[in-house]
Amino acid sequence: MKPALRSLLLLICMLTSFSFQMQAQQKPKPVLKPPVLKSFWGQTNGGTLPLDMALQLVDSSIWVISDKKERMQIARFFLAYKSMDTYEDEKTGEFKKRQNTNGTQIRYENKLPENWRKSIYESLKQGDEILITDLYVRDKRGEYYMAPDIRIIIN
């Protein structure tokens, strides 16, 4: 082997080993651990509620708190309202039930829009379900997190 080629090969080996040593000495990047979050609508975090208690929630705020008691700002959420409705079958004349689902996305608000509050308040009945899902919040540093869903079933 020629001396110039041998020198080049030796130089490549030394640089490669130096590169591996530098990578081994680098500190690992810190991993962002998301906080443990709890979601609330009024004073409840979901469940089966009687109609009168559910009606009180319609005007209440949605809020999220972390395990460090830090209140988070609502970035957005999706409201889904599932209702069991009765209709008359035109062919048979029988009354049947069907499930209707309506929804809307709300951004940077912690309450339902006025038109949704009025609609839910007027039509809420036993067997209906309200789901607040895809609830994203923002902390004081500007980081976004996904909070747990709130599911309310009317008893």
Q: pLDDT in tens for each of the 155 residues of the chain?
A: 567 777 777 777 776 776 666 565 666 777 778 899 999 999 999 999 999 999 999 999 999 999 999 999 999 999 999 998 888 988 999 999 889 999 999 999 999 999 999 999 999 999 999 999 999 999 998 999 999 999 999 99
How many structural domains is the chain composed of?
A: 1
Give the range of the structural domain holding residue 89, as residue numbers without chain letter: 37-154
Whether residue 8 lies inside any domain: the answer is: no
For residues 150 and 48, the answer to whether their CB atoms sit within 8 Å is no
Structure-token pair, residue 31:
């991993």
For residues 46 and 151, the answer to whether their CB atoms sit within 8 Å is yes
In angstroms, the Cα distances linking 40 to 60, 74, 91 are: 10, 12, 45
The overall longest dimension of the chain from CA atoms, in Å, is: 100
Whether residue 107 lies inside any domain: the answer is: yes
- Helical ranges in 49-128 per DSSP H: 51-57, 114-123
Whether residue 85 lies inside any domain: the answer is: yes
Whether residue 9 lies inside any domain: the answer is: no
